[in-house]
Homo-oligomer: A and B are copies of this chain.
Amino acid sequence: MADPTRRAVIETLLKGPASVSDLHAPHAMAMPSFLKHIRKLEDAGLVTSQKTGRTRMIHIEAAPMRAAEDWLSRQRKLWEGRLDRLQTLAEALERKPQ
């Protein structure tokens, strides 16, 4: 979910639930194109929606957001480990330059 449109939608939804057209407004893109992004967010479970009358309200889902943050945390630790190993490697190469 690295897509800028999708990220912006998430960001907007943090201010509260919104209708599809509200969410659509700031994006210079045709509705059907935009709807695809909403569908992907729904498929990913980041967002839920319910239709009342002819408007569909989109709500952000807390659980997967927390999951996303956990994932980032874990990734960061992984990279920390990598940097450590890189450090070790650099030192090893320095000791035997050839």
Contacts and interface: CB of A to CB of B under 8 A. Distances in A.
A72 interface: yes
Nearest to A69: B79
Copies of the protein in its oligomer: 2
Given A69-B83, A83-B65, A83-B69, A16 B76 contact: no
Interface of A: 2, 10-11, 14-16, 60, 62, 65-66, 68-69, 72-73, 75-76, 79-80, 82-83, 85-86, 89-90, 92-93
A56 B16 CA distance: 54
A92 to B, nearest CB: 8
8 contacts: A14-B82, A16-B89, A16-B92, A16-B93, A65-B79, A68-B79, A69-B79, A69-B83
